[in-house]
Structure 1
Amino acid sequence: MKIELSDVLDELVELQEAEDEARAEVDLLQEELGDVSQWTDEQSVAWTNAWEDWRVPTEELDMALNYYAEKIGRDRGELEAEVRKAAGLDPLPVED
């Protein structure tokens, strides 16, 4: 049984949204903390924890995109662009 994009789009959009939310947290924290050379140990730990919280959904999204692109028979970059569009984001340029 071949998997269709419609079968997995909601799952991929949820993963994309989780990745975006976690990335926004890292960006916000980094903006709040300012110059990395001035961070305390506690601030470094807070940023590292936020980065880890972003890394996990990023890896999950990446693995899911690779897996479903192969199962659906689509180019991975094109699939990612469709997922980003469905999530209300600007699609990344597709590399040739």
Structure 2
Amino acid sequence: MAKTFEEIVEMQRAAKEAQVRTAELREKYGPPAATAWTKQQTDTYETAWRAWRDLDRDLQAELTDYAKSHGRTRADVEAEVLAQAEEPPGSA
């Protein structure tokens, strides 16, 4: 499904938020090899990790499709998306 550039930027923001959430959980719970996690902690972390993985996978596919459909390099599109995603929404 073709996305607009703005939708891809939002996908990037969502993937970044999911990555941050996953990192926060790992920091909060500690390394699983050093500190035994409860089942709830494990389930929470795995859910967050899967969400991040799925969002990033979908983002990567959309970056490729967008670049192809607009005759641009994927690297250029990705750099532009990353730069735009760093700006607060509505500031552009």
Give me the TM-score of the superposition, normalised by structure 1. Answer: 0.79
Tell me, yes or no, if structure 1 residue 36 matches structure 2 residue 24.
no
Amino acid at match of 1:58: D
Q: Would you say how many aligned residue pairs link Structure 1 and Structure 2?
A: 83
Amino acid at match of 1:76: R
Amino acid at match of 1:47: Y
Tell me, yes or no, if structure 1 residue 9 matches structure 2 residue 9.
no
What's the CA shift string for 1:20-78, capped at 9, x where partnerless? 11111101001001121122332222111110111121111111001011111111111
Tell me what 1:76 maps to. 74
Gaps of at least 5 residues in structure 2 are 88-92
Tell me what 1:52 maps to. 50
Amino acid at match of 1:73: G
Amino acid at match of 1:33: Y
Gaps of at least 5 residues in structure 1 are 1-6, 90-96
Tell me what 1:94 maps to. none
Which of the pair has the greater relative contact order for Cα pairs under 8 Å at 6+ separation?
Answer: 2
- Counterpart-to-counterpart distance in 2, 1:25 and 1:64: 22
Amino acid at match of 2:15: E
Q: CA deviation at 1:88?
A: 1.4
Identical residues among aligned pairs (%): 35
